[in-house]
Structure 1
Amino acid sequence: MSRTSIFEGAGGEPALLALAAAHHRRCLLDPVLNHPFSRGTRPDHVRRLAAYWAEVFGGPARASAEVPHSAMLALHAGNGMESDMGERFLACFLAAIDDAGLPDDPELRRALRAYMEWAIDDVLSYSPPGSEVPAGLPVPRWSWNGLEER
Structure 2
Amino acid sequence: MTRTVYEAAGGDAGLTRLAAAWHARVLADEVVAHAFSHGYHPEHTERLAAYWAEALGGPTTYSEQYGDESFVVRLHSGNGQHEEMDRRAVACFDQALADAGLDADETLRRTLHDYFAWATTTVMARYPDSADDVPAGLPIARWSWNGPQD
Match of residue 83 from structure 1: 83
TM-score of the superposition, structure 2-length normalised?
A: 0.93
Identity %: 47
2:74·2:131 contact (CA, 8 Å) conserved in 1? Answer: no
SS at match of 2:32: coil
Amino acid at match of 2:38: R
SS at structure 2 position matched to 1:84: helix
Q: State the match for 2:37 in structure 1.
A: 38
Q: Secondary structure at the match of 1:147?
A: strand
Letter in 1 for 2:143: W
Rounded to whole Å, the distance in 2 between the matches of 1:38 and 1:28 is 9
User: 1:83 deviation in Å?
Assistant: 2.6
What stretches of structure 1 of length at least 5 have no aligned partner? none
CA deviations over 1:77-120 (Å, ceiling 9, x no partner): 11114231110010000100000112511111111111112101
Paired residue total: 148
Equivalents in 2 of 1:118, 1:4: separation in Å?
Answer: 21
Cα 1:46–1:71 shift into 2, 3 Å: same
Alignment pair present for 1:4 and 2:7: no
> In the alignment, which residue of structure 2 is the partner of 1:119?
119
Q: Residue 28 of structure 2 aligns to which amino acid in structure 1?
A: L
Letter in structure 2 aligned against 1:67: G
TM-score normalized with structure 1 length: 0.93
Give me the CA root mean square deviation.
1.4
Moved more, 13-22 or 57-66: 57-66
Equivalent residues of 1:10, 1:103 under 8 A apart:
no
Structure 2, unaligned runs of 5 or more: none
